[in-house]
Structure 1
């Protein structure tokens, strides 16, 4: 049975009070619409159609870049005349067979299992609605059932509901699955005779009833799956609920979080055994953490692999970006350290406070403990890189590489002007600026002769 997926993402989101399209506001570091598309990507649909409207070009460009490998297409709803009118825009590209699943781009946390169960409930010949009981159903369409409570008769929008109907706590979540051919027929019969003067998708329920098509309901595992976002407050509340669920999942696997309420995963985080994470840590992209890792407070880690037994001190920033970053087992990083894209640290490396490493490899036991910069460098084993030293890797137009051999001692406040090679066992005297290779096993010093001038006086400030 063929499956088509339609995602409604045309709304302006007036209550967001933002120039950005509502569906591009982020949950866990990704646009809400991206979450929905990612979830449905595993349903093996023949096509995914996104209905855009407000900020259409921005939405379409963003999604095309993020999902270039998916069978994603776009139709526009201009002007926006209701949910029924939105889905009508997809009719010309829908087939005449199979099932159509309709989702909302501002309801980002629906699970694939829930969507799949709804499609199965439709079975290709029934109208299936995703419903849920809410303690406060304000704003949602109410599910009206027959006297037995088994048969769904209609969905009544909140603004059109009577007082008795508003007392109903079972609501429609905005998600449905229907036989495609019949859905197209029902959409052609929608009218805007209601309080809002809009074309309601929910009116297909009564049209299905009139055609003798069974209307069934299914429920999600958790209400967080169907909570939509219409304001910054709702966005923040949903973010926190999502992060709390992420924290619970990790703690069930044995990760120890100092405070699950102060923890954010904005991507994928995989942790080994006996991992400790302090407060206010943020994980972005794809992060893998080995056994016995300790991560201090206020760290940000993105697209990185952290080896077993690593200690990451507070306020460390690791950003692998597209190149990735690796920290070898037993290393100690921070506090206030920064690892940039391409940082590849071997085992037992020490990177201390206010040290920056970019596109560089460090061998086993190398140390840069204070106020240093290593950019575009290959650093050998057991190197001691002094405080205040830098690799001058940029000549104003091109980047050049510094190669430092094993067992090198680099004194404080040195400048290694790349391209340059420092041989194994070399020692660089403090304060040196090197523009030529330093031989292995020798002391190399390159600094001005110290001079003291007798009788010299500081200039005095001119009084005006």
Structure 2
């Protein structure tokens, strides 16, 4: 269910598209449904329907073996009315699993247990006990222990409001029975809405077993209704990820200052300083050290490499960034898509590398740009030097062969090849390829005028 407006978010963006851990709230839910092997994923939209539907397509809610469908709820007349809109897309057999698009951290294992509790025959409700259940539907049980009803907070009496076990909004129901119950829903309640929870009473009246599958993990069933709740859930999720990594041996300088917005795979003895953000798919090899306040996305960093503070690595997709074993990067370096660094490469402060391959031992230690370049082994690339790779219409490649020394403040105008072992004198602009072993200097001859006086302003 993803039809709500989310008024308390105070945003033009539909609530289910606000991000947690780098992914839309709804993206978390549809990804979990995908892992369950659902035959069909039906997203019920309403507020911002076109935007939500386009976003679901973008973040890949379906696979070839699964069908994705949308059902629009307009106007929004309650949770039962929402699920009614999905009826044309539901098969007559199997089990229907109802999830909320703003409850992002429900676990696959929890849902599998719920489906097992349903067994295709029973109505199974995911419940949790809260210290403060205000605002939630209470689970009313029979003396025998089975669920008798779910009573919404606004319709509950004083005795019912004292109940601390609440319905999470997640249920599993036999498809044929659910279709039957949805057709009987009425809106004679305090809100004038069609409550999905009324199917519990119908099931009980008809003799269908209703079971509560309780979770003790409140975080899994916590929804998002405001920026404050989103921030709290973000931090709780990040702390769980940090704890998981530390249990595996990763050393985090401060787990409260760590952010994972994708996947992070770490080998042994990895150290991560404060304020680092990991996005997309990142792999850190044995003994990698990440300095403070780095942003790393879609990259593979091999054993023994050191990423110094304030470095920004963005591998994009599908190229990715590779940092070779024992390489040193930063501080304040930037690696863009297609950057491929060999072993023991040095990329220093304020150096940018884009779509370039640097062979083992190459160095660009200061204030330089390497774009669309192939750099050989042991090249030394001077401060202030750039590859001029763009002619205003097309990108061209620069080849710097092994053991070349490029002096400071040089411009290599692509397409150009600097021959192996050559030297480019500082301040040179190179527009033609050079021979191996040659010293090439291309700059204006210095001219001096003795006793020259600067112009002076006229005095009144």
Shorter-chain TM-score category?
over 0.9
Q: State whether residues 69 and 89 of structure 2, in contact with CA within 8 Å, keep that contact through their aligned partners in structure 1.
A: no
Matched, 1:436 2:432: yes
Matched, 1:306 2:301: yes
Q: CA deviation at 1:463?
A: 7.1
Moved >4 Å (runs of 4+): 461-464
Q: State whether residues 278 and 295 of structure 1, in contact with CA within 8 Å, keep that contact through their aligned partners in structure 2.
A: yes
Q: State whether residues 424 and 440 of structure 1, in contact with CA within 8 Å, keep that contact through their aligned partners in structure 2.
A: yes
Q: Tell me the distance in 2 between the aligned counterparts of 1:17 and 1:318.
A: 33
Matched, 1:47 2:47: no
Within 5 Å, give how 1:329-368 maps onto structure 2.
329-368=325-364
Q: Tell me the distance in 2 between the aligned counterparts of 1:90 and 1:166.
A: 31
Q: Tell me the distance in 2 between the aligned counterparts of 1:197 and 1:14.
A: 19
Q: Tell me the distance in 2 between the aligned counterparts of 1:162 and 1:18.
A: 35
Of 262, 265, 268 in structure 2, the residue corresponding to residue 270 of structure 1 is 265
Of 102, 108, 124 in structure 2, the residue corresponding to residue 106 of structure 1 is 102
Q: Tell me the distance in 1 between the aligned counterparts of 2:348 and 2:428.
A: 22
Structure 1 portions without partners, runs of 5+: 1-7
C-alpha deviations, 1:242-288, integer Å up to 9, x for none? 00010011000000000000001100000000000000000000000
Residue correspondences, number: 456
Aligned counterpart, 2:398: 402
Q: State whether residues 114 and 221 of structure 1, in contact with CA within 8 Å, keep that contact through their aligned partners in structure 2.
A: no
Q: CA deviation at 1:461?
A: 4.5
Of 182, 194, 212 in structure 2, the residue corresponding to residue 199 of structure 1 is 194
**TM-score w.r.t. length of structure 2:** 0.98
Q: Tell me the distance in 2 between the aligned counterparts of 1:371 and 1:349.
A: 16
Aligned counterpart, 2:323: 327
Q: State whether residues 401 and 418 of structure 2, in contact with CA within 8 Å, keep that contact through their aligned partners in structure 1.
A: yes
Of 179, 182, 191 in structure 1, the residue corresponding to residue 174 of structure 2 is 179
Q: Tell me the distance in 2 between the aligned counterparts of 1:145 and 1:126.
A: 16
Aligned counterpart, 1:296: 291
Matched, 1:188 2:161: no
Q: Tell me the distance in 1 between the aligned counterparts of 2:9 and 2:420.
A: 60
Q: Tell me the distance in 2 between the aligned counterparts of 1:65 and 1:214.
A: 39
Matched, 1:65 2:61: no
Matched, 1:20 2:13: yes
Tell me the secondary structure at the aligned position of residue 60 of structure 1: helix
C-alpha deviations, 1:24-48, integer Å up to 9, x for none? 0001000010111111112122111
Aligned counterpart, 2:3: 10
Q: CA, structure 1 residues 463+406, in 2 after alignment: closer, same or farther (shift >3 Å)? A: same
Matched, 1:84 2:80: yes
Q: CA, structure 1 residues 152+196, in 2 after alignment: closer, same or farther (shift >3 Å)? A: same
Q: State whether residues 357 and 375 of structure 1, in contact with CA within 8 Å, keep that contact through their aligned partners in structure 2.
A: yes
Q: CA deviation at 1:91?
A: 1.0
C-alpha deviations, 1:74-122, integer Å up to 9, x for none? 0100010100000000112212121111000000001111111111111
Q: Tell me the distance in 2 between the aligned counterparts of 1:248 and 1:454.
A: 71
Q: CA deviation at 1:459?
A: 2.9
Q: CA deviation at 1:190?
A: 0.8
C-alpha deviations, 1:372-431, integer Å up to 9, x for none? 000000000000000000000000110000000000000000000000000100000000
Tell me the secondary structure at the aligned position of residue 213 of structure 1: coil
Structure 2 portions without partners, runs of 5+: none
Q: CA deviation at 1:462?
A: 6.1
Q: Tell me the distance in 1 between the aligned counterparts of 2:298 and 2:214.
A: 36
Tell me the secondary structure at the aligned position of residue 341 of structure 1: coil
Q: Tell me the distance in 1 between the aligned counterparts of 2:67 and 2:454.
A: 75
Of 417, 424, 428 in structure 1, the residue corresponding to residue 413 of structure 2 is 417
Q: Tell me the distance in 1 between the aligned counterparts of 2:195 and 2:201.
A: 11
Q: CA, structure 1 residues 221+289, in 2 after alignment: closer, same or farther (shift >3 Å)? A: farther
Q: State whether residues 267 and 283 of structure 1, in contact with CA within 8 Å, keep that contact through their aligned partners in structure 2.
A: yes
Q: State whether residues 137 and 170 of structure 1, in contact with CA within 8 Å, keep that contact through their aligned partners in structure 2.
A: yes
Aligned counterpart, 1:213: 208
**TM-score w.r.t. length of structure 1:** 0.97
